Amino acid sequence: MTDPIFIDALGPNGSYRAHNRLTVPDVAGNPLVELSFVPRLFVTRAMSALRKAETLPTEQRLAAMRAAGELFATGVVDGMSAADYQYTVSRMSGTPLPIVQRAVRAIARSAAGSYDSAQKARPVGAVNDWRDPKAREGTAVWIRRGDVFAVHAAGNHPGVHSLWLEALALGFRVAVRPSRREPLTPYRLISALRASGFGDDQIVLLPTDYAEADEILRQADLSMVYGGQDVIDKYAADTTVLPNGPGRSKILVTADSDWRDHIDMIVDSISHEGGTACVNTTAVFVEGDPAPLAEAIAARLSAIPSLPPEDEKAVLTAYSMPAARKIESYLQAKAAGTRAHLGGDGVVDELPDGSAVLRPAVHELDDPFAEQANVELAFPCVWVAPWTREAGPAVFHDTLVLTAVTRDEKLLDDLLADPTIKNLYIGDHPTYWMTPGVPHDAYLGEFLMRTKAVIRD
Amino acid sequence: MSEKILDLPLDARPDPDEFVRAAMEWHFSPETGSAYWLERAKTLGFDPRKDVKSVEDLSLFPNIVNELRDVRVEDLIPRGYGADADVVGVYESGGTTGAPKRVIILRDWWQRIMAWMNAGMDAAGFPENVNWLVVMPSGPHMAGKMSEQHATDRGGIRFTVDMDPRWVKKLVAAGKAEEAEAYAEHLVEQAGFVLRTQDVGVIITTPPLLERISRHDDLVELIDEKVKGIVWGGAHMDADTRYLYRTEVFPGVKLRGTYGSTMILGGSNERLDLTDDDACIFDPPAPWITFRVIDPDTGRTVDHGERGQVVMNHVTKNMLLPNNLERDLATRVEPPAGLAGDSVADVTPVARFDDETVIEGVY
């Protein structure tokens, strides 16, 4: 029995250890973290402090972010070394250690580069400051749509915390409500930002129970939330909330191309990042018989070892046994009537500590419009379906990333034109491909900023 | 003979079981009992005058509070009061679950519970001869009447704001959060008019409204400048919120909680001399009002320090409302020495969100 790690709220008057705390266990069910839950009054006071606070001047802000990213990735923050932090995250969230390590580096890169990548979203007619010489002839200036930005963060992958850094870079004061599944990453990142020059009233961490969570959004100018379809529906009409919903990413291989030339990319797209990211492939469509492709994917995925998440070679995300069983039975209910190539007898594989990994599942569908193709589960779980010319682009509605392996330019035009397909990768590019400056689900800047006409003497 | 024990002031310490037996005599004798209880006794399956001998035995009674939605209030008045019982008023439950439940309050009980609550105010160092701002449910709700009486008894003028909690609950249940917000802001605005222009020494309000008032820096400033004490009740306040008020928001203002219910025709007082780290503990005036903290699945009293659901008993000449399972969870705490029943700490509503595991999707 080791001492618990306390994750306090980081409020406008410093850190606060609440009486009301949640014990967050590791994947084996052992108590690991004591997470403070703050009450509504704390939320409203913190949000009000953010509103009254100043924004750090741009140069100072970006320097502080760069330093914080370094400190977060490599330093000792609140008494915890980088290695301890990474190990703890993998034990708490079940995310494989190599994935945590990659995410940490990506967060540090975002901290250093967010401002520049955010600039890609600035309209070509806009400048950043009224002092720009263009203002003398009249120009657009790119301005924030508000001052206070809030995030209801997700805990599926540490990398989700690289996105809101863009809001911070653009000068918003930011409130983060951590996920109860993995609150350590935002705690460490915000602690590092504070240690590097941000004021306690410029960035806050507000862990709350569900009842108080909406209050954070209500008092922010703009916010971003993560969740399932219910969350998307809840905020559909709210122009101040940007929901990050299901990914349902897909791959299409048409008859003019041979899937055998792309099997590495396909398998990687399914299992990269442990299969828990919204950019992991949920379904693969092939023009022709899907069975040989499903068989080939199954053969490759079955070679992945079952390892505890803190192992340096771990690939699969670990879950508590009850959580793993719940996902497995959900899969089995959904998979009824489909043809299993892998995982048909169950996907739960118990680890020595009593936790479990979910081993890959490959199921073949017989209809391009089968509803299973949109059933996205947080492990390497893929549906392989036939695609036909008659089915056309319609099967790809509501897809975060579509990789299309095809030479059919007319089809590509149609896929590009569909606004519900958020990203289109053409050819041998995995669905998880991302790079700074290229949008993930449109530029965040499109949501955070607007233009204002300025002319001056 | 035994009737006298029922007329004692609330700081007396009658033997609790003897007290309960006297109350059974009163409520179930054909000469003194109410029409309601005399009729209801026929279907109880036991004889309260013989079988209910102690505070514990009150748990023999069924929970009858739902019947108070339909009973004619005259039938609730014990015949022992005679034809011209001195009625203070009829008060209704909040109406969270359907039609409201009604109780009738008679003068003798009212005077004794108010005297006890005023003594509690004195002990907590609340000033006399200052004006009160009451932002509590008005209309048929007991809280409004009680605050009015407090202000009068303590020599102050009372300012009020109209408040209908049932409408708010309806709005929330219908998913009209925006309208509920607007209503709450409307109440705060009215409180602000009084705070800006009048001398207010004590505020009595609910925790959600106090939290809303605190969002307005100008009102916080006015309160810190003018107000000596804040009484909260009618909803729950957790230890963290209380700590923030005491240390950051209203550091110079006395903050005092009450925990009561229309179904006990009164309330309990917050225990004094606790540190900021202690949970908020409420001690009821036993044996007139007693609490029991039970495991709702087994009905058994939980151990001290354990959490359970709160059962309330009201046993006075005025009314008998035994064994009422409230929709509150609390930690069971030892009562002050010599008192029957339980004290309660960290009261929260029963209905809480469970940690649901969302399956589909990656978040």
Contact between chains at B362 and A326 (C-beta distance less than 8 A): no
CA Rg, chain B, in Å?
21
Q: Is residue A453 part of a domain?
A: no
Contact between chains at A209 and B353 (C-beta distance less than 8 A): yes
Joined together, the tokens standing for residue B263 give 């179904």
Q: Is residue A452 part of a domain?
A: no
How large is the average pLDDT for residues B104-118? Answer: 96
- The verdict on A179 and A314 lying in the same domain is no
pLDDT tens digits for range B319-331: 999 999 998 999 9
Q: Are A314 and A304 in contact (CB under 8 A)?
A: no
Joined together, the tokens standing for residue A14 give 């410093």
The alpha-carbon gap from A37 to the nearest alpha carbon of chain B, in Å, equals: 9
Q: Are A289 and A386 in contact (CB under 8 A)?
A: yes
CATH of the domain at A230: 3.40.605.10
User: Among A449, A397, A444, which Cα is nearest to A117's?
Assistant: A444
Residue B356's pLDDT is 42
Q: Is residue A295 part of a domain?
A: yes
Long-range contacts of B162-168 (CB under 8 A, 24+ apart): B162/B138, B162/B190, B163/B135, B163/B136, B163/B137, B163/B138, B163/B187, B164/B137, B164/B138, B164/B139, B165/B94, B165/B95, B165/B137, B165/B141, B165/B234, B166/B94, B166/B95, B166/B100
Average pLDDT, chain B: 92
B207 to chain A: closest CA residue: A41
pLDDT tens digits for range B35-57: 999 999 999 999 999 999 999 99
Question: Is A226's Cβ below 8 Å from some Cβ in B?
Answer: yes
Q: Residue B294 pLDDT > 50, yes or no?
A: yes
- The verdict on A270 and A326 lying in the same domain is yes
- How many other CB atoms sit within 10 Å of the CB of residue A438? 11
A182 to chain B: closest CA residue: B363
A184-195 and A97-118 helices cross at what angle (nearest 10)? Answer: 50
User: Look-up: residue for tokens 């003798």?
Assistant: B108
Question: Is A42's Cβ below 8 Å from some Cβ in B?
Answer: yes
Q: Residue A326 pLDDT > 60, yes or no?
A: yes
Domain that holds residue A214: 5-245
Q: Are A36 and A7 in contact (CB under 8 A)?
A: yes
Quick one: how far is CA A214 from the chain centroid? 20
- The verdict on A240 and A99 lying in the same domain is yes
Residue A397 three-state SS: coil
State the DSSP H helix or E strand holding residue B327, giving kind and residue range, or none if neither: strand B320-333
Residue B359's pLDDT is 53
pLDDT tens digits for range B139-177: 899 988 999 999 999 999 999 999 998 888 888 888 888
Q: Is residue A325 part of a domain?
A: yes
How large is the average pLDDT for residues A51-60? Answer: 97
Contact between chains at B239 and A20 (C-beta distance less than 8 A): yes
A406 sits in the region (left: phi over 0; alpha: psi -120 to 50; else beta) called beta
Joined together, the tokens standing for residue A219 give 């008092």
The DSSP call for residue A317 is: P
Q: Is residue A444 part of a domain?
A: no
CATH of the domain at A412: 3.40.309.10
Q: Let me know how many helices (H) and strands (E) chain A has, helices first.
A: 13, 23
Residue B355's pLDDT is 39
Q: Which amino acid is at A46?
A: A
State the DSSP H helix or E strand holding residue A405, giving kind and residue range, or none if neither: strand A399-405
pLDDT tens digits for range A423-453: 999 999 999 999 888 999 999 999 999 999 9
- The verdict on A279 and A200 lying in the same domain is no
How large is the average pLDDT for residues A243-254? Answer: 94
Q: Are A290 and A255 in contact (CB under 8 A)?
A: no
Q: Which amino acid is at A40?
A: R
- The verdict on A76 and A164 lying in the same domain is yes
- Number of folded domains that form chain A: 2
Q: How does residue A127 score in pLDDT terms, banded at 50, 70 and 90?
A: very high
Q: Name which of A39, A323, A375 is nearest B360 (Cβ-Cβ).
A: A375
How large is the average pLDDT for residues B67-80? Answer: 97
- The verdict on A308 and A237 lying in the same domain is no
- The verdict on A200 and A94 lying in the same domain is yes
Residue B2's pLDDT is 62
pLDDT tens digits for range A139-181: 999 999 999 999 999 988 899 999 999 999 999 999 999 999 9
Joined together, the tokens standing for residue B163 give 């408040």
Residues of B in contact with A46 (CB under 8 A): none
Work out the angle at residue A78's Cα, subtended by the Cα atoms of residues A77 and A83, and round it to the nearest 5 degrees.
45
Q: Which residues touch A377 (CB under 8 Å, ≥6 apart)? A: A327, A330, A331, A358, A361, B359, B360
Beta bridge partners of B268: B259
The alpha-carbon gap from B95 to the nearest alpha carbon of chain A, in Å, equals: 22
Q: Is residue A445 part of a domain?
A: no
Could you write out the DSSP letters of every residue in B278-324? SPPEEE--TTTEEEEEE-TTT-PBPPTT-EEEEEEEEESSS-EEEEE
Top residue of A8, A19, A47 to mutate, by most chain B CBs within 10 Å, is A19
Q: Which of A245, A270, A285 is the last residue of a domain?
A: A245
Residue B221's pLDDT is 96
- The verdict on A194 and A260 lying in the same domain is no
Contact between chains at B211 and A226 (C-beta distance less than 8 A): no
- The verdict on A228 and A310 lying in the same domain is no
Residue B51's pLDDT is 98
Residue B1's pLDDT is 45
- CA–CA separation, A351 vs A309, rounded Å? 10
Pairing of strands A139-144, A449-454: antiparallel
- The verdict on A254 and A236 lying in the same domain is no
Q: Is residue A403 part of a domain?
A: yes
- The verdict on A287 and A355 lying in the same domain is yes
A45 to chain B: closest CA residue: B215
The 3 state secondary structure assigned to B46-82 is CCHHHHCCCCHHHHHCCCCHHHHHCCCHHHHCCHHHC
Average pLDDT, chain A: 95
Is residue A169 classed exposed, middle or buried when 0-12, 13-18 and 19+ CB atoms within 10 A define those classes?
A: buried
Give chain B's largest Cα–Cα span.
72
**Which of the residue ranges A55-64, B171-180, B239-248 would you say has the lowest mean pLDDT?**
B171-180
> How far, CA to CA in Å, does B109 sit from each of A271, B116, B288?
72, 11, 10
Q: Residue A15 pLDDT > 70, yes or no?
A: yes
Residue B351's pLDDT is 62
Q: Are A140 and A453 in contact (CB under 8 A)?
A: yes
- The verdict on A288 and A345 lying in the same domain is yes
CB pairs < 8 Å spanning A and B: 84
Could you write out the DSSP letters of every residue in B208-269? HHHHHHTT-HHHHHHHHHH-SEEEE-SS---HHHHHHIIIIISTTSEEEEEEEEGGGTEEEE
Q: Which of A245, A267, A288 is the last residue of a domain?
A: A245
> How far, CA to CA in Å, does A405 sit from each of A385, A388, B95, B121?
15, 14, 62, 77
State the DSSP H helix or E strand holding residue A216, giving kind and residue range, or none if neither: helix A210-218
Q: Which of A221, A245, A269 is the last residue of a domain?
A: A245
Q: Are B87 and B104 in contact (CB under 8 A)?
A: yes
The alpha-carbon gap from B19 to the nearest alpha carbon of chain A, in Å, equals: 39
* Winning range, highest mean pLDDT, from A32-46, A231-245, B233-247, B336-350: A32-46
The 3 state secondary structure assigned to B258-287 is EEEEHHHCEEEEECCCCCCCCCCEEECCCC
Q: Is residue A19 part of a domain?
A: yes
Residue B172's pLDDT is 84
Cα pseudo-dihedral A308, A309, A312, A316, rounded to 10:
90
Residue B168's pLDDT is 87
